Amino acid sequence: MQSIEDIISDFQFLDDWEDRYRYLIELGRSLPPMEPDEMTDATRVQGCVSQVWLVSESDDADPPRLTFRGESDAHIVRGLVAITLALFSGKTAPEIAATDASSTFETIGLQEHLTPQRSNGLRAMVDRIKKDAGAALQNA
């Protein structure tokens, strides 16, 4: 998986939003597939129009470090999942809580080029990740 810094740099290099959408789809294709038995109602992200599933795992460190895996049935949304995972996966729960996803998405220019439904879904993914990080902290 590419780092969020590399993704931001790649987006800034691409001038045309058609090229950026193609890159977004390419990012989604690079995600490792989730197992079918992981794509359940429990892992489904509520608030997304497309089907989005998100699995979080935390280690036993103090504070816990979380890794995320995700999947979507829509190409562009799968790319948004890839960006979100690059932003949050591998960070500690406090780092996740302190991460300003909106600022990163604004830097990329996503907010102004997404439909309201996709923006809501993106927000729902971030909320779910932050909720999972809070739960990992409480269970530590």
* DSSP states along 13-82: H--SHHHHHHHHHHHHHTSPPPPGGG-STTTBPTT-SS-EEEEEEE-SSSS-BEEEEEEESSHHHHHHHH
pLDDT digits (tens, 9 = 90+) for 54-94: 999 999 888 999 999 999 999 999 999 999 999 999 999 99
In the prediction, which pLDDT does 137 show? 87
In the prediction, which pLDDT does 139 show? 81
CA–CA gap between residue 23 and residue 6 (Å, rounded): 12
Please identify every residue annotated as catalytic: 48
In the prediction, which pLDDT does 100 show? 95
In the prediction, which pLDDT does 56 show? 95
CA–CA gap between residue 79 and residue 60 (Å, rounded): 30
CA–CA gap between residue 83 and residue 59 (Å, rounded): 22
pTM of the model: 0.94
pLDDT digits (tens, 9 = 90+) for 44-54: 999 878 899 99
Q: Residue 4 corresponds to which tokens in the numbers above? A: 């969020």
Which residues make Cβ contacts (< 8 Å) with residue 140, sequence separation at least 6?
58, 60, 62, 63, 64, 93
pLDDT classification of 34: cutoffs 50, 70, 90: very high
Mean pLDDT for 19-37 is 94
pLDDT classification of 114: cutoffs 50, 70, 90: confident
Q: Residue 13 corresponds to which tokens in the numbers above? A: 């290099």
Residues in the chain: 140
In the prediction, which pLDDT does 109 show? 87
Domains plus CATH for the chain?
4-139 (3.90.1010.10)
* 18 burial level (CB within 10 Å; 0-12, 13-18, 19+): exposed
